[in-house]
Amino acid sequence: MNTKDMTYSEAIRDAISLKMRTDEDVFMLGEDIGVYGGAFGVSRGLIEEFGPERIRNTPISESGIAGAAVGAALTGMRPILELQFSDFITIATDQIINQAAKIRYMYGGKGKVPMVLRTPGGSGTGAAAQHSQSLEAWMAHIPGLKVVQPSSAYDAKGLLISAIEDDNPVIFYEHKLLYGMKEPVPEDLYRIPLGKAVIKKEGTDVTVIATSVMVHKALEAAKLLEAEGIEVEVLDPRTLVPLDEASIIASVSKTGRVVIVHEAVKRAGFGAEIASVIVESDAFDFLDAPIERLGGKAVPIPYNPELEKHAVPQVSDIVEAVKRTLQRGKEV
Amino acid sequence: MISKEIPASLTTKQILELYHQMWLIRYFDEKVDEFFARGAIHGTTHLCVGQEATAAGACFVLAEEDKITSTHRGHGHCIAKGADVNRMMAELFAKETGYCKGKGGSMHIADVDRGNLGANGIVGGGIPIAVGAALTSKMKDLGYAVLCFFGDGAANEGSFHEALNLASIWKLPVVFFCENNQYGMSGPVKEMVNIENIGDRASSYGIPGRIIEGNDLFAVMEATGEAVERAKAGEGPTLIEAKTYRWKGHSKSDAKKYRTKEEEQYWRKEKDPIALLAVRIINDELATNDELEALQLQAKKQIEDAVEFAEKSPAPSLATLELDVYA
Ligand SMILES: Cc1ncc(C[n+]2csc(CCOP(=O)(O)OP(=O)(O)O)c2C)c(N)n1
Ligand SMILES: [Mg+2]
């Protein structure tokens, strides 16, 4: 396959275009996705290619457009709904949680809701408390929803294709700080199955399980630790639901030590779920130290850049957590 | 276009203060624009340059105890409700001396002591909050009214519908003030709403609706004054739609592909709210050009001082990160 350097945002756009060219049922709806190109420029150029019928620029009505996506999906379309910031999911939650997630089950296995809700989460842009949250654990809690969190351009494209083709509602969490990140991406259509983790770096001493932007911080930390002779394995689950438990268990069984890191608030965050998957499995027997869990502080994201940075885990926090887990392992 | 006649109840001093205030609003946002362009302030911001008459005119008719809810495009509302530009600028610079101690930034400036219940990062988020504040006034018989600012785009959120209905059935002292600046982020109101005027929606809530020239300070004052009086007399809410225009892009990055240069020029040349007021003042011989220029320069200087205050202020310490999550 030919590859091309694509940013995360271009890779997402490419997945949308490829699917829209071959499947008439796929369309996009969202606020300012027309000539404006979307709040983060992801849909730039799409209205020019596909026209306003299939790239539907909507009023500012998150509850309405989420519901319209659900209804269209239930009757044969494959909508891709863009919400400008993942914080605005709050306004669309009735349609996502009470409707989309449950329809098939409530109806006794009849009907399906093949829609994708794409939306950027995360802090780091100074957008403050109402535009910087990481609320993926909420969605992962809801039976009937799938939850995806790509950390790279390559993953974003392959996962989005799978999400669009999936017959269930998929919440596709992008990250604002990743939109500009570039890497070689195949030009053709390819799929990454939902529920397949990836080892971003192999190692033998500690497994760092990281999601979204934290994958990059974990890789940076791994590089620093390598210089000290510590071999870190970085595992990115890529999808929270379904979760690739087997890959997590295999990696932890190999290294015996785990650090889990996400940007979302640590309290009741998805890291707790991952930790529990590990201790409930056979990997428990291989653990040489308590699991280290890193996440955001239990505060709304502040505006001041220094405060904002300290509200979420940094590379140095990961380095320290890895060292702690190695130290504690020795005490045992 | 020329402005309405000056209401007889206004003194020359008040009119000149309003003129000064509109320049203060404009220079504040021009300055913020400049700093963002240079990357000196982070985050994002939404400027109200070109919309000064709605903020100044609507807030002018309020008593000190009256309250407002504001929007993401809220610097003008805040200044007009009496906020200190030093503390506003300090907030944009993320400093400890800012209104939110550097934790809120442009979209969350609030001055609860002066009745500004806050800007809002959620479009339409402030509309039901205004209803709640009016409910307090009614339940405790406090006599104050609430002025609720929101945009044309916000009028398409479900919260708009729910809030107006509540205020109407409960006859609450609230004035819904829609600043129709013709666009949401990029969505033209003409494509996003299938009626000519958002103000016409008032009839579906059984409340009065007013559609006014939002760049005419005196039109804004007259309509808002009447609505506030009505609210305080216990007759319930009013919906006002003020037609205006934002001169700048939506936020810090906006190629403005959704509108034409001609349209922008029309609003700047024909309907500049500050120029309209200046023409009226000169025509009515309330001040000379020199006097007006002095007021303008005074506003400019205040904003420069605000920048200096902000720059010299300390940043919040890291110890504040986990403060104020709970009361
Ligand atoms: C619930 C919600 N949806 C979308 C946004 C993103 N957004 C911020 S301002 C804006 C446009 C608002 O338009 P309008 O209400 O007309 O106010 P204006 O910006 O024109 O002053 C949008 C879409 C948001 N902040 N909140
Ligand atoms: Mg608007």
Looking up tokens 């027309």 gives A34
| B169 token code pair | 């059935």
**Residue B5 C-alpha, separation from nearest chain A C-alpha, in angstroms:** 37
Provide the pLDDT confidence category of residue A12 given band limits of 50, 70 and 90. very high
Stated as kind and residue range, the H or E segment containing A100 is: none
Find which of A304, A308, A309, A314 to mutate to test the B interface (most B CBs within 10 Å of its CB): A304
Q: Which of B107, B97, B127, B14 is CA-nearest to residue B61? A: B14
Domains of chain A by residue range:
3-186, 198-325
Sketch out chain B's domains with CATH numbers. Answer: 12-310 (3.40.50.970)
CA-nearest residue for atom 23, ligand 1, is: B185
Looking up tokens 């983060």 gives A40
Amino acid at position B187, single letter: G
Provide the pLDDT confidence category of residue A331 given band limits of 50, 70 and 90. low
Q: B28-60 burial string, b = 16+ CB within 10 Å, else e?
A: bbbbbbebbeeeebbbbbbbbbbbbbbbbbbbb
| Neighbour-count burial of A25, counting CB atoms closer than 10 A to its CB (0-12 exposed, 13-18 middle, 19+ buried) | middle
CA-nearest residue for atom 19, ligand 1, is: B184
End-to-end CA distance of chain A: 49
Instruction: Catalogue the active-site residues of A.
Output: 62, 131
* SS3 state of residue A45: coil
Pairwise CA distance, residues A319 & A314, whole Å: 9
Q: Does B251 touch chain A (CB under 8 A)?
A: no
Q: Does B115 touch chain A (CB under 8 A)?
A: no
Chain segment A149-160, per-residue pLDDT in tens: 999 999 999 999
Cβ–Cβ of B322/A60 closer than 8 Å? no
Q: What is the pLDDT of residue B76?
A: 98
Stated as kind and residue range, the H or E segment containing B4 is: none
Cβ–Cβ of A32/B187 closer than 8 Å? yes
Domain at A198-325, CATH class:
alpha beta
On whether the CB atoms of residues A169 and A140 are closer than 8 A, the answer is no
Q: What is the pLDDT of residue B1?
A: 86
Tell me how far the alpha carbon of residue B10 is from its chain's centroid: 21
- Mean pLDDT, rounded, for A295-318: 98
DSSP category for residue B107: G
- Mean pLDDT, rounded, for A275-303: 98
Chain segment A55-65, per-residue pLDDT in tens: 999 999 999 99
- Mean pLDDT, rounded, for A296-312: 98
Q: What is the pLDDT of residue A1?
A: 81
Q: What is the pLDDT of residue A182?
A: 98
Q: Is it the case that residue A136 has pLDDT exceeding 60?
A: yes
Q: What is the pLDDT of residue A329?
A: 63
Stated as kind and residue range, the H or E segment containing A16 is: helix A8-22
Q: What is the pLDDT of residue B252?
A: 79
Strand partners of residue B176: B148, B239
- Mean pLDDT, rounded, for A208-212: 99
Residues 147-166 of B with CB under 8 A from A: 153-154, 156-158
Q: Is it the case that residue A129 has pLDDT exceeding 60?
A: yes
* Domains A3-186 and A198-325 equal at CATH topology level: yes
Q: Does domain A3-186 have CATH number 3.40.50.970?
A: yes
Indicate the Cα dihedral angle B183, B185, B191, B197, nearest 10°: -40
ipTM for the predicted complex = 0.97
Q: Which of B223, B231, B307 is CA-nearest to residue B53? A: B223
Strand partners of residue A147: A171, A241
Q: What is the pLDDT of residue B161?
A: 98
Chain segment A19-31, per-residue pLDDT in tens: 999 999 999 999 9
Cβ–Cβ of B42/A31 closer than 8 Å? no
Per-run averaged pLDDT (10 residues), chain B, 327 residues: 93 98 98 94 94 98 98 98 98 98 97 95 98 98 98 98 98 98 98 98 98 98 98 98 98 91 98 98 98 98 98 98 98
